[in-house]
Every structure is written in C-alpha cells, then in structure tokens.
Chain A
C-alpha cells in the first residue's frame, strides 16, 4: 500500500491532536507516514506518540536551519521526503502556516492542492465547506500527488499501533528557501488555555459583554470547560481583545465539539467561522438574535446572570 505523508504538528514534545486525526485519515488512504520537521532532537520525544496512532514510518528532517527561515524550508523538506517516499497523498492540518507550506509543496510537486477539507476519502478526494458553511463541496486533485490541508477536529482520532520506523532525511536548503529570515520568535499569549484554531471547546464573547473588563466572565466560563477563548469582530474592533481571537469570515474558522456564544448576535460573517461546530450553545438576551437559529441549545437571558452561574454550575458538577 502506498504511503501517505502526514506533517506532524507538535509543541513542547507533545504531538497535537490534529496530527492524530491526520494519521487516522491517512490510514484510510494507505499506510501512514509521519514527517517531523524541527530542531535537532524533536522527533525522539514524539516517536512513541506517533506510533500509538499508526505511524508506520517517521521521516525525520531536523536542523536549526530549518527553523531559521520562514515557511519555505518546511516545503523543501516535505518535497525531499516526497521524492523518497512517492506518497499517494500528503496531509497537513489547516493552520495558516501549514496551508502556506502545503501550497509551496504542491507547486514543487506539480500537484493540485485542496485546502480546508472537513473530510477526506480513501481516494484522497475531499469534502470542503465553503461560503461560511452554506455549501458543501466534493473535490479532487486531478494532477500529481494530492496535497490536502484538513481542518482540525474533522476526523475522530483512532489509536492503532504502528511500527514507527525512523528514516532520517537530509535536507539541503536552496537559496530561495533562505530568503525570509526568522529574526525573532515572540510568545505573547499568556496563560495555558488551548489554542483557538484546534480546540475541542470554544467559548466566545460578543459585544453584549459591554466592556473589556467584563471579558473575564467569558474567560472564567472557558476555563471551567477547559476551552479556548474567542470573540466576535465587534469585540476585536472595540479593542477589548486581540484580533487573533476573532472567529468568523475574516478571523479564525473553528469546528469544535462545543461552541458557546455569549452575547453574540450571530451575524452571517460570524457564523462563517463557527457554524460547522458539532454542538452550539448560545446565551443572548434577545430572543430574535439569529444565533438561536443555529444553536442546539439556547438560553434567552442576561449573560451577566447566566454565564457566571453556568461557570459555577460546571465547576460544581466537575467537582
């Protein structure tokens, strides 16, 4: 069976859940091969985790140079692995950076690319959800090796033992791959909340919260659920939170197991970023708010009453 390459995402020695999802999807197309690109020593810490989700091989491209330049080195490293493995497909999870890596890779391979798949079939064709979830599209790559970026939370990860044979890959970067130098890496996000894009639970606050200080009501509810925190554009525009937290048409697209919208009206551009969530809960004082049209469960009420009470109730039940 042909190999299917999966680009591994990890942080601090832990493989991200999105990678386990891709390894699961890869096994329905062929045999799963993980590709680790990182600083020296990265793969050693990830090997056992990747083996648990069925990685038959782990291609390892390590070197400080690979991280010293933006985006392009990862595409070259993947292309080097692809040249060696002749894969049936390449899967990466849909983060902003991974999509760029995938695009550059597709061009190098002379292959078509499908972006933001919400499901991948055994022939590497994909389902995409476009126009803010209004239309579901089936698509396929017709030229070259399908390169598919898959939205986190699209596939249920299933563990299966894999041989995890390590294959070292030497990558010599071209000059073009060294054109954009990473001068500095600055971590601004404080605290230990999950990241918005691939979180399984998201709690978002809208203009209804009234001011920046009140956003802590949203954060407290999120923390009780172990959730990432999001916001509507109105909240970002008001300067209450960073733009990175914006969910919607021009912000992050999320597809979590649970999305809780607090004081958000549910404008079409907001819905575009969250309506493929598996379960949606809304708290809004206006019974006519459009968010209720897509909520699985809604409470018409004052968020200043309901949200803190919910935080308390969840904390109590988890107790």
Chain B
C-alpha cells in the first residue's frame, strides 16, 4: 500500500507569530518554522500502515524553500521519499488553491491513501483534507482517531462531538488524523543519517501542469484586508484565598450576572 503524508511547515506556536504588514500574509521570518505538530501523528500513522501492509511512504509538502527542513525531519522518522512543491507564485495562496495544488501533486505519485493532520496550528482552518477529497472525488475519511485497512477498504473512527462515527471507503482515499491517534516516534540517529540521502523531488507549478494564475495572493478567493494586534487582555482582580476565595468568586460572578 502506497501512502502519501501531507506535511505542512508552520511557525512554532511557542513564538510570537506575526503577519507581514506589506501584504497581510504570514511573516515567515518572525518565528522559527517547525513541522505542524499534528502532522507528526499523520507521519506516524503512515509509517505504521507501511509496516503492516508494505509499500512506500512519500511526504508531500507545498511550501517555501525552508520547508525542506520539515521534509528532512519527516524522512528521518522513516518516510522513504518526498515531493516538495516549490514555486514563488504560491506565496499567499488560500486553502482552496493549496488543496488544488496538493490534488494535482497527488497525480504525480502512486498512492492508496493520502494522510494529513486534522488541522494546522497556524491557520487552524482544518479544511484542506476535505477540499482535496472534494477535488479528487475521493472518499473523505477525516478526523480519524483510528484507521483500519482491509484490502482496498479503509475504515476510520471519525471523532464527533459525542463519540465517533465509523466511516469507510475504498482506496484511493483522503484521510486526516487527530492528535493522540498514536505516539509519534522520534527520529533515530540512523534515521537522521539516512534521511540525508533520501530523494526529494522538487516540483514547480509548471511541472504539475498548473498555471500561476490559479494560485497565490493575487488570485486567492478570499483576502485579509487588514489586521491589528489584539489588545492584550488586561489582568483583572486577583485575591488570595483566606477561606473567602470561593465566596469572592461567587460575588464576582453575581456582579456580572453570570449566576
């Protein structure tokens, strides 16, 4: 079974993330980039499927030059190879354009399942896997906390507000997995060394048969028109509990008509 894992590079959530006022897009220089945290679970799930069913794990990233660092990390965890869609024209692409690029790029590799993290920590929109499934007309098996493969049938436990839905579809299928589905492995020293020589196939939009007019900031179907730093929440009143802490909170809640 051939597995593609969709990996996004994002700014570290520990950093002071910013937008670039010149064009209202992500300021990539402001904070060190890392692999989107939830994608590590997707990589792990891909590696486990390979271990159980054979095949290859390919990392697919759409992102700037520096995304190679994240790709190398994914390879050091054990993925076999990577496709990196790299093109200056992609700057500022919205989720829909990004999904179009991913869908096209999937056409350049053999795959039975494409696995993404359920959302990225920067945009938090959690829609790209569904969009990729929509564009390809493939089964959407997203928000999975468990994945089972039986021949060409993939069944997941899709997390819902009240429990889960068991959802199944045939390969090729587009999956997303939630945090906690597994325990992502750390790259071993051997893995890190091996990753250095694993192939990364860099593709431009032209290589994929895409036109620059379909992607990028100027062609996005939605725009950020302005932004401002949210005023920091100012700390309110803090009291030390001397046996009266609970009634002080109750008084406060009552004053706000919250009880």
Contacts and interface: CB of A to CB of B under 8 A. Distances in A.
Interface of A: 70-72, 75, 95-97, 99-100, 102-104, 106-108, 110-116, 125, 129-144, 175-176, 179-189, 195-197, 201, 225, 236, 243-244, 246, 249-251, 253, 257-258, 268-269, 272, 275, 279-281, 283, 287, 292-302, 305-307, 309-310, 312-314, 317-318
B173 to A, nearest CB: 8
Contact of A188 (B118, B121, B138, B164): B164
Contacts of B96: 103, 106-107, 112-113
A97 B140 CA distance: 12
B211 interface: no
B52 interface: no
Interface stretch (B65-73, B200-208, B237-245): B237-245
A318 B24 CA distance: 48
A301 B158 CA distance: 40
Contacts of A135: 17-19, 227-230
A195 B161 contact: yes
The interface residues of chain A, by DSSP majority, are classed as: mixed
B236 A298 contact: yes
B223 A318 contact: no
B258 A298 contact: no
Contacts of A71: 130, 140, 142
Which residue, B18, B223, B243, has most C-beta atoms of chain A within 10 A? B223
B109 interface: no
A165 B49 CA distance: 51
Given A302-B241, A313-B250, A129 B230 contact: yes
A136 B230 contact: yes
A168 to B, nearest CB: 26
B135 interface: yes
Contact of A305 (B159, B161, B245, B249): B245
Q: Which of A142, A179, A295 has the largest number of chain B CB atoms within 10 A?
A: A179
B182 interface: no
B74 interface: no
B186 interface: no
A318 B253 CA distance: 12
B150 interface: no
